[in-house]
Amino acid sequence: MNVQKTVFERVLQAIGFELLAIFICTPLLAWVMDKPLFDMGVATVAIAVLALVWNVLFNSAFDRLLKRFGIVRNAWVRVVHALLFEGGLVAVAVPLVAWWLKISLWQAFVLDIGVLLFFLPYTYGYHWVYDLVRERMLVSRGLR
């Protein structure tokens, strides 16, 4: 894609990503963990805010690297993108979840691995669909 995404667009993309994830994950995790919906909701929203900031920063840097090195966004680049994005988030989220839910770091890590198994395909799919829709909108407006 030739038209660079603005920071504002990245923020909107990230907000959409996080809102959809909150609506999917909060009730699912409350049920799986047998925790109150409120507790899981607070944890999910806190992690979503953290992820939102990480999303904007990481994706902006990732796009710059792709452009600088002339790397085409293909399936393998998307896999690397998803792995790096989620790996960075794990480092901060595990201690936060352990503290809030009053569970061990190991339990929080195992929970995070379970959530990661959801988010890897979710991240890949969300950004792929976003890019497809964006491309079509740019073409229809004659911007590409």
* Tens digit of each residue's pLDDT (9 = 90 or more) over 59-88: 999 999 999 999 998 999 999 998 898 888
Where do the structural domains in the chain lie, given as residue ranges? 7-140
Q: Which residues of 78-90 are buried (b: 16+ CB within 10 A; e: fewer)?
A: beebbeebbeebe
Task: Tell me how far apart the alpha carbons of residues 96 and 78 are, in angstroms, rounded to a whole number.
Answer: 27
Can you give the pLDDT at residue 125? Answer: 93
Amino acid 127 reads H
